[in-house]
Structure 1
């Protein structure tokens, strides 16, 4: 994938959790509320139909306000790559005000962990700039840290 610095934001880090477990966390509605938004914000609801064209819907609670974000899955390569967008909702209905397309990639790091890359693609440089100013790097880093802690807690329970 060729990144466009004008419209794309991305970061990569190594998470101390196995790739299959991180994949399960990202693709199961029961896991999403445990890491998907930076605390203290919350995921109030999540629906996932894990197939191209299937729904990826979330409802957030941010500062006492509910924010619904409906989207679709564009690609799901088990254990490797999840791509979803709010440019469309289920049934390929266009969203009048889309924000981004998210690409989450997983690769073994060779030491039992996972090389984790999150990319946000935007329709314009202005949208990318807004997302960066909102705190893309800090927010997605926090989400990755929460994901790592949550996945580790699941391993401890097993």
Structure 2
């Protein structure tokens, strides 16, 4: 994948949990609720239809405000890669004001852990900058830490 520094944000981290467990966490609504947004924020609801064109909908609670995010999977490569976007919702309904496409990649690190890469691709450099200023690296880094901590409770 060729990243464009003008529109893309990405980071890679080693997570001390096997790929299969992280995949399960990212593809199961009850697990998403435990790591998907930085605490003290939360996910109040999550719906997943894990297939290309299937829904990935969340309702996040941020400081008491519910934020509905409807999206769709663009790519599902079992145990390796999830690509989802808010550009469309289920049945390819275009969104009025899309924000990003997320790419989550998992690779066995050879030591029982996972090389985890999270990428956010944006339509414009302004959207990318907004996301970085919102705290992409801290926020998505916190999510990765919460994912690791939560996965440990499932082992």
TM-score tier after normalising by the smaller chain length:
over 0.9
Match of 1:104 in 2: 104
Q: Number of residues paired by the alignment?
A: 155
Counterparts of 1:118 and 1:98 in 2: how far apart (Å)? Answer: 18
Pairing of 1:20-35 with structure 2 (within 5 A): 20-35=20-35
- Deviating above 3 A after TM superposition, structure 1's stretches of 4 or more consecutive aligned residues are none
Aligned to 2:67: 67
TM-score (norm 2): 1.00
CA distance in structure 2 between the partners assigned to 1:106 and 1:70 by the alignment: 23
Distance 2:25 2:75 in 1: 16
Separation in structure 2 between the aligned mates of residue 62 and residue 140 of structure 1, nearest angstrom: 15
Measure how far apart 1:46 and its partner are. 0.1
Match of 1:154 in 2: 154
Q: CA deviation at 1:40?
A: 0.3
The normalised TM-score by structure 1 is 0.98
Structure 2 gaps of 5+ residues are none
- Distance, in Å, in 2 between the alignment partners of 1:59 and 1:14 is 28
Measure the CA separation in 2 of the matches of 1:41 and 1:99: 20
Mapped partners of 1:27, 1:114: distance in 2? 16
Partner of 1:121: 121
Instruction: State the alpha-carbon separation in 2 of the partners of residues 99 and 62 from structure 1.
Output: 17
What is the aligned partner in structure 2 of residue 133 from structure 1?
133
Provide the C-alpha distance between the structure 1 equivalents of 2:127 and 2:141, rounded to a whole number of angstroms: 19
What RMSD in Å do the two structures reach over aligned CA positions? 0.3
